Amino acid sequence: MRTTNQRSTLPVPPVAPDPWDDLVQEDRVHRRVYTDENIFAREMNNVFAATWVYVAHESEIPEPNDFKLAWLGTRDVIVTRDEESVVRVFSNRCSHRGASVCREQRGNASQFTCPYHGWRFDNRGQLFGIPGKNAYGPTFKARDMHLSRPAQVASYRGFVFATLNPDAPPLVKHLGNAARYMDAWIDYNGGAENLVLAGTQLFRLACNWKLIWDNAGDGYHVPFSHQSLLVMTHARYGGGDMTYFAEADRSKMSNSALDNGHTAIDQRAEMHAESAWQQQRPQPGREPYQDYVAATYGEQAKRVLDTTVGAGMNINIFPNLALIGNQVQVLQPTAVGETVMHWYATRRKDVDAQVNTMRLRTQEDFPVMGEMDDAANFEECQRGLFNHPEDEWVDMSRHYETGKDVAAEDGIIRGLVTTDLHMRNYYAQWKRLMQANPTLCLARGKL
């Protein structure tokens, strides 16, 4: 019974008694959404498999035979560029007994040999070598034993996504009007052909992934959570970066609800009002760099300095990709109460080495002086939600009743920057996905 492109439909664990409309209301969410292991198990299928999930940036695997490990939620995958330069995604799970076939984070290899019994796969995941093959019979040989592949893989301007759902709409449709924000961010960084990921900082947080995602569009917390940074910056330099969040709702920043749960905070009107560079906290080597840019770029100097520090946009592609400043943040949920945050730096091929060095020095500022304070708060939220079962609700009603979230001319609903519109928008999508009964498929047939 040989079938090429054989697909197996994965069972979805039932969470039937959960009334999703009760758990996710218009302006509040039930704590169990952050603490319940069954809900997490269902998320790994209904969210982190049934919709498009970011897996890699093409600049991480620039050459033929390059590979890197990646994840769709808790599923391990290998992302490769094959000999014909086609990007491939397949499971890092041996078709024999389940061992991982690749145990290096990244590298260059035309084939992978499973360390357990030595089965060999090419870098498209195709099985081509079984030691002692004569010991297997016709029934075995009729089975497809290639490494399994997500139903769909697609790339948007260098950002590679995958889904196990054969019925998921095309990637561009899924991105919808968020694509134009991504375009603005990518173009600000020199265009898709010039953007290169430049290493990653990894953090493990003891909280549900959604506590991090809630914050990705939270324009409310800044003057409180990051008060130490604002006080220090004021004391040492008389003010600077993020000061405009003090009276955030009187600022020109906005918070947008985009298609399919995506969102964006646009800080550009404040951050780039005069000069993003001038507002930036000082980086190592700032002064000689500024002199160098002034001497080298003439009239373009201001633009070069401003692009060094950040795009002024936070673009959140639900469920796991956030473009923040000049950085790319990716969430990897590992358990209901644990998440790994991958924070990639970026550099550009179309600027000189000094500019790229200063991009890195700028990007190293916030993680240790800001993100750690956020992380501490997320972890405290997780503890509070877990330890207090009678206190059921997580609030997301800010500006829900003020009539300030309104449709703009372009049809996008926008609110003041401190609105909880981001949470309300992504939770609506989360609920749609969790209510659905998607088909999840892995292809195992010969390519």
Partner 1 sequence: MNTATPSVAQERRYNHQPPSLYVVNAFYDWLVEVSADLAQAVVRDAAAVDAARRHAIAQLLAVESRLLDQGAGAHAAYEHWLTLYAEECAYWIPADSPAPDPRQTISLEFHDRRRLLDRVVRLGTGLAFSQLPASRTARQWSGLEVWSSPGRTDEWRARYSFTLVESRAGHSRVLAGWNGFVLRQIGDRLRIVLKQINLIDNQNPQGNNSFFL
- List interacting residues with Fe ion (CB under 5 A): 374
Backbone conformation region of residue 191, classed left if phi is above 0, alpha if psi is from -120 to 50, else beta = left
252 touches ligand FES by CB under 6 A: no
116 touches partner 1 by CB under 8 A: no
User: Interaction with partner 1 in 226-245: which residues (CB under 8 A)?
Assistant: 227-229, 231-233, 235-238
263-266 and 87-91: which strand pairing?
unpaired
How does DSSP classify residue 370? Answer: I
149-150 and 127-129: which strand pairing?
unpaired
Instruction: Say how far apart CA 404 and CA 418 lie, in whole Å.
Output: 11
Cα distances from 168 to residues 56, 91, 152, in angstroms, run 19, 19, 8
Instruction: Say how far apart CA 6 and CA 95 lie, in whole Å.
Output: 14
Instruction: Say how far apart CA 14 and CA 441 lie, in whole Å.
Output: 18
Interface mask toward partner 1 for 258-297; x: CB under 8 A: -----------------------xxxxxxxx---------
Instruction: Say how far apart CA 13 and CA 38 lie, in whole Å.
Output: 8
99 touches ligand FES by CB under 6 A: yes
Smaller CB separation from partner 1, 10 or 376: 376
Smallest gap from Cβ 121 to ligand FES, in A, equals: 9
Half-sphere exposure of 412 (CA within 13 A, CB side): 23
**Contacted by 288, from ligand FES, partner 1, Fe ion, none: CB < 5 to 8 Å by type:** partner 1
How many residues contact ligand FES, by CB under 6 A?
9
**Contacted by 354, from partner 1, Fe ion, ligand FES, none: CB < 5 to 8 Å by type:** partner 1
CB atoms within 10 A of CB 93: 19
112 touches ligand FES by CB under 6 A: no
117 touches ligand FES by CB under 6 A: yes
Smallest gap from Cβ 96 to ligand FES, in A, equals: 3
Among 201, 397, 429, 439, binds partner 1 (CB under 8 A): 201
Percentages helix, strand, coil for the chain (3-state, rounded to 5) are 35, 25, 40
Sign of the CA dihedral with 282 first, then 287, 289, and 294 last: positive
335 touches partner 1 by CB under 8 A: no
102 touches ligand FES by CB under 6 A: no
Binding residues for ligand FES (CB under 6 A): 94, 96-97, 99, 114, 116-119
Binding residues for partner 1 (CB under 8 A): 105, 198-204, 225, 227-229, 231-233, 235-238, 281-288, 340-341, 344-345, 347, 353-354, 356-357, 360-361, 363-365, 367-369, 372-373, 375-377
